[in-house]
Amino acid sequence: MNSKTKAHFAVLIANLIFGAGYAVIKTITPAYLAPYSLNVVRVVVSLVLFWSLLFFKPSKVSIDKKDIPLFILCGITGVAINQIMFVKGLALTSAIHSSLLSLATPIFITIIAIWLIGEKFSINKLIGLLLGIGGATLLVLVKDGQSNNGSSLLGDLFILINAISYAFYMVLVKPLMEKYNALHVLRWVFTFGSIFILPIALPDFIATDWSLFGTSQWLALAFVVLLVTFLSYLFTVYGLQELGPSVTGAYIYTQPVFATIIAMVFAGEHFTFIKAAAAILIFSGVYLVNRKKSI
């Protein structure tokens, strides 16, 4: 198996894990662990593991002083706001809703790239943006009637804020990825991100009653921290290095598929006509904003 094939396989596995993470996270938060508490565990453990990799593959650890403000911005958008809004939103809405709304990230990236770096606008992108925003609006405003795990307007809005924040991160981190090794960027982004998360989330973490955790809760927490956060980020970075951002980013479209199947089988969620219609609108919008030739 050559390096390209390994990278494709790694990125696919990363997105399968991400997709499964939607349902797994909901098994422990908010019932056993407050969303902010989960953020503390995810970020701190992953941060320690990322820096620990230096023992196996020593490399440069410093960054240029002039890049520190950009690293801080990436830490805020890519870790602090992103992680807080994602887990908080997922605790309040369904796994299927969350995964579909997260698909709006490429659409927000297009809007931000046009705004911040003057990326060329086209009819394709305009139609794509309208379709994607329409699909997201449909998901947010139309209830699915599930009383146990149905959508929450506030939860959906948190997921959208998460998507917008991550979109900012994807635009801002590009010059850093061109200058530094991708794993090196990830270490520092998590370092700065943790500085902003910890003051907000530590009170909930300290108040957590760990005696409520049984074997299944500990296994779920280990899955979220070690696989959804640490391993998936590593696999994604490997994909970025071997395949580039465009190919690696395209795999995000598999997440709702995995998330929907797992949520239906293990969490008892339902894939309704409204969700299908919203998914079609969002997928169509993402396709059009990424299409090169104008219609």
The tally of domains found in the chain comes to: 1
Whole-angstrom distance, CA of residue 101 vs CA of residue 153: 12
| Residue 295 resides in a domain | no
115 occurs within a structural domain:
yes
Look at residue 285 and tell me whether its pLDDT is greater than 80.
Answer: no
pLDDT at residue number 67: 94
Instruction: Tell me the average pLDDT across 152-168.
Output: 84
- Joined together, the tokens standing for residue 213 give 């955790």
158-168 average pLDDT score: 86
**Please, which pLDDT band fits residue 140 given cuts at 50, 70 and 90?**
low
Nearest CA to 163 out of 228, 81, 74 is that of: 81
Whether 184 shows a pLDDT value over 60: the answer reads yes
CB atoms closer than 10 angstroms to residue 279: 21
Residues in the chain: 295
pLDDT value of residue 294: 45
- Quick one: pLDDT at residue 99? 76
Q: What is the pLDDT of residues 26-46, one digit of tens each?
A: 889 888 999 999 999 999 999
Full domain range(s) for residue 195:
3-290
Q: Dump pLDDT digits (tens) for 62-111.
A: 899 999 999 999 999 989 998 899 898 888 887 777 777 777 676 777 77
Least confident of 182-186, 196-200, 269-273: 269-273
Q: Is residue 218 part of a domain?
A: yes
Averaged pLDDT score across all residues of the chain: 81
What pLDDT is stored for residue 172 in this prediction?
84
pLDDT higher for 203 or 270? 203
Distance from C-alpha of 208 to C-alpha of 188, rounded to nearest angstrom? 28
Block residue for tokens 């190919």: 247
Distance CA 35, CA 117 (A): 34
d(CA 278, CA 282): 6
> Which segment of 197-206, 223-232, 272-281 scores lowest on mean pLDDT?
272-281
Q: Is 265 helix (H, G, I), strand (E, B) or coil?
A: helix
Sequence-ordered alpha helix ranges (H) in 29-122: 35-52, 68-75, 82-92, 95-102, 105-116
d(CA 50, CA 191): 10
CA distance 83 to 77: 9
Residue by residue, DSSP assigns 6-45 as HHHHHHHHHHHHHHHHHHHHHHHTTTTS-HHHHHHHHHHH
In a domain, 285, yes or no: yes
Residue 126 lies in a domain: yes
pLDDT of residue 192: 95
232 domain-assigned: yes
C-alpha distance from residue 215 to each of 21, 31, 36, 230 (Å): 18, 15, 21, 21
81 in a domain, yes or no?
yes
Minimal CA–CA distance to 146: which of 94, 200, 224? 94
